[in-house]
Structure 1
Amino acid sequence: MSAVSEPAPATDDEAPEPPAPTGVRAVLANVLRALVTLAIVAGIVFAVRTQWSAVKDTITELSWWALLASALFVFLGMGAAVRAWQHALGALEQPIPAFDAARCYLVGQLGKYLPGSVWAFVLQTELVRRAGVSRAAGFITVLVTVGLSTTSALVVGLLGLPALFQVSTAAAIAVIVLVPIALLCAYPPVLTRLVNLALRILRREPLHRPLTMHKIALALGWCAVSWVLYGVHLWLLASSVAGFEFGGLIECVGAIALGMCAGVLVFVVPSGLGVREAVVVAALSPFMDPGVALGLALASRLVFTLCEVFAGVVAATAGSRVLRNALVHEHSRVPRPSEA
């Protein structure tokens, strides 16, 4: 009779799903999860109420088609951002299915409604861990995806430099200086060294193979697509007031990329409140009264908030194990490098 070999123990690279906590740890984990959920809900409710009181007059004056079309492009931009996130994870040897990537990204985005945008990254790291990625690898991948997103935003944001010069000459010069630095850090050989350095600090094994230009370019490309789609969203809102102008579209794409990028970097306020609006108002002011531009900037934020909340709630609801297994067949999951 042939002996049956014992299954090999799981390694850190295979990143098995951690066992569910038991006893006191389970209670504490559930309490903490409930508190975080309540804090996010409270932050969202506060943000929506505050934004509605400031923008209700503008919203009621906008045409229904402009609101629906702009919301559609926000959803499309989120889809592109999810694809960018998934490609970045795959480039870092941590591939997960699109279904899991969407849940991690969309639900994690709700964390930015807490004071300090860093909470979105913390929540995404935890959700990636639940998707089968080790905590250290999840932390690195979130940092890299944020870096790639920021790099693409700076490049696309060059279209909005004229508007940024109106807000702050120093900030515009900083963007010009940061673009080549960001592109250098995103260059695969350099990025590989940075990632391996971070893994060494966390006492984890380095990447099995260097990052490739193809995968990093895909992530950067999808990030750029998301910024363009978000810019179209803003342009549609502005066009319903000031008329359609192609030059306005270019300004809106650059402004939304720079504004949202600055909102992430200025992490002391929830979702970069006020930072994005300053850049957007400067971009729209040549086409309309500054007061109207401010109303549209706030309307854009409200549309974003409602779309992000809707997408996050749907992703969280669809994240149950039963529904996930029904929608994502086990054979569709991307194999780990150790399984290839």
Structure 2
Amino acid sequence: MDEKPAEPSPEAVVPRRSLARRLVRYGFLAVALAFGAYFVTKQWDAVVAGFAELSWQALLGSLVAVVAALLGAMLTWRTLLADLGSPLRARPAAKVFFVGQLGKYIPGAVWPMLAQMEMGRDLGVPRSRSAAAFFLMMPIQIATGLLVTLVTLGWDRFGWLLLIVPVLLVLLEPKVINALIGYALRKLRREPLERPLTRRGMLTALGWALAGWVAYGVHLYFVAPQGGLLFAVGAFALSWCLGIVTFVIPAGAGVREFAMVAVLAPHLDQGAAIAVALSSRIVIIAGDLICAGLAGIAARRDSV
């Protein structure tokens, strides 16, 4: 008798397309880190001198501002989730958002969403609402970030952004968003959202997002005050938006730093600008870890 063919191993059933995507993501990350390492090494003496000019007081103030900015992002997400029909108390919401956001450091854009969906489900939040709130965060951040860039860095240099902002504003119209979400859920054969997004909820979310950009600008101003506070707000918003759109690379690694060095060029030499960009990245990572840790501890105490 013919022998029964062996069962394929788990590795063999992994779709080649999925494997190729992972390889592309890791490849992008490796290239970004390699170029970043070369760039820093080439300017090493100037970078060291730039770090020497940063005081612990400035870095501490920058960290406090980052925590405030992250809180603004959490409140943006919480507002969207509540408007869609799943209001959460502050502590559980903070845990779901901040712990889930740690997934952005993993290659691929879906890990924070998956984490938030699973943790949210334990709190009674339908997965479709968690996914909708997650995906709405990106256009809100990009639209408000580009608006902040226009206002703070000048219309003469970045007037071309006016071509993008109206498109984003149309996409942020609740009627358009509700139609797009409904279409996506039908295609996925999922139940429609019980409550549509309202204009009041969207405006409140936009307000929290703008507050977050101001806090991020303060964070950059502490370590790079040469251009003034308004310049710092715009410089960070622009570099962050460029990092967000390169979602293939975890947390925009490398892209945001390159953009920040370029934007800071009128006020800082290259070595000092690199030191500021690297300091910003380190402070933001520390802020993510602090917020996730504190939110987890607070939520655990709240449940006792």
Q: Which TM bucket (shorter chain)?
A: 0.7 to 0.9
Tell me whether 1:112 sits opposite 2:109 in the alignment: no
SS in 1 for 2:86: coil
Tell me whether 1:273 sits opposite 2:292 in the alignment: no
Bigger relative CO (Cα 8 Å, ≥ 6 apart): 2
| Change over 3 Å in CA distance of 1:176–1:126 after alignment to 2 | farther
- From 201, 204, 212, the equivalent of 1:226 is 212
Whether the 8 Å contact between 1:125 and 1:142 is mirrored in structure 2 is no
| Change over 3 Å in CA distance of 1:164–1:58 after alignment to 2 | farther
Which residue pairs with 1:148 in the alignment? 140
SS in 2 for 1:253: helix
- State the AA in 1 paired with 2:149: G
Tell me whether 1:260 sits opposite 2:240 in the alignment: yes
Identical positions, percent:
38
Tell me whether 1:122 sits opposite 2:102 in the alignment: no
Whether the 8 Å contact between 2:49 and 2:272 is mirrored in structure 1 is no
| Change over 3 Å in CA distance of 1:182–1:233 after alignment to 2 | same
- From 83, 87, 110, the equivalent of 1:91 is 83
1:24-103 paired onto structure 2 within 5 Å = 58-103=50-95
Paired with 2:48 and 2:86, the residues of 1 have a C-alpha distance of: 44
- State the AA in 2 paired with 1:123: A
Whether the 8 Å contact between 1:163 and 1:279 is mirrored in structure 2 is no
Whether the 8 Å contact between 1:88 and 1:141 is mirrored in structure 2 is yes
SS in 2 for 1:106: helix
SS in 1 for 2:205: helix
Paired with 2:122 and 2:156, the residues of 1 have a C-alpha distance of: 40
Whether the 8 Å contact between 2:261 and 2:274 is mirrored in structure 1 is yes
SS in 1 for 2:224: helix
- From 285, 289, 303, the equivalent of 1:309 is 289
Q: Report Cα offsets for 1:53-79 as digits up to 9, x if no partner.
A: 987664443122211111111111111
Deviation at 1:139, TM superposition (A): 1.6
Paired with 2:241 and 2:119, the residues of 1 have a C-alpha distance of: 23
Q: Identify which range, 186-195 or 295-304, moves more after superposition.
A: 186-195
Paired with 1:201 and 1:212, the residues of 2 have a C-alpha distance of: 23
Tell me whether 1:325 sits opposite 2:303 in the alignment: yes
Q: Report Cα offsets for 1:19-39 as digits up to 9, x if no partner.
A: xxxxxxxxxxxxxxxxxxxxx
- From 164, 169, 174, the equivalent of 1:188 is 174
| Change over 3 Å in CA distance of 1:117–1:210 after alignment to 2 | closer
- State the AA in 2 paired with 1:313: G
| Change over 3 Å in CA distance of 1:218–1:281 after alignment to 2 | same
Whether the 8 Å contact between 1:80 and 1:225 is mirrored in structure 2 is yes
Deviation at 1:130, TM superposition (A): 2.6
Which residue pairs with 1:330 in the alignment? none
Deviation at 1:272, TM superposition (A): 0.5
SS in 2 for 1:211: coil
SS in 2 for 1:206: coil
Deviation at 1:282, TM superposition (A): 2.4
Paired with 2:156 and 2:244, the residues of 1 have a C-alpha distance of: 16
Which residue pairs with 2:183 in the alignment? 197
Which residue pairs with 1:335 in the alignment? none
Paired with 1:319 and 1:201, the residues of 2 have a C-alpha distance of: 36
Paired with 2:165 and 2:178, the residues of 1 have a C-alpha distance of: 19
| Change over 3 Å in CA distance of 1:127–1:264 after alignment to 2 | farther
SS in 2 for 1:287: coil
Paired with 1:182 and 1:217, the residues of 2 have a C-alpha distance of: 14
- From 126, 131, 136, the equivalent of 1:134 is 126
Which residue pairs with 1:217 in the alignment? 203
Whether the 8 Å contact between 1:159 and 1:251 is mirrored in structure 2 is no
Which residue pairs with 1:290 in the alignment? 270
Paired with 1:286 and 1:163, the residues of 2 have a C-alpha distance of: 17
Deviation at 1:88, TM superposition (A): 0.7
SS in 2 for 1:229: helix
- From 226, 230, 239, the equivalent of 1:250 is 230
Deviation at 1:143, TM superposition (A): 1.1
Deviation at 1:217, TM superposition (A): 0.3
Output the TM-score relative to the length of structure 2.
0.77
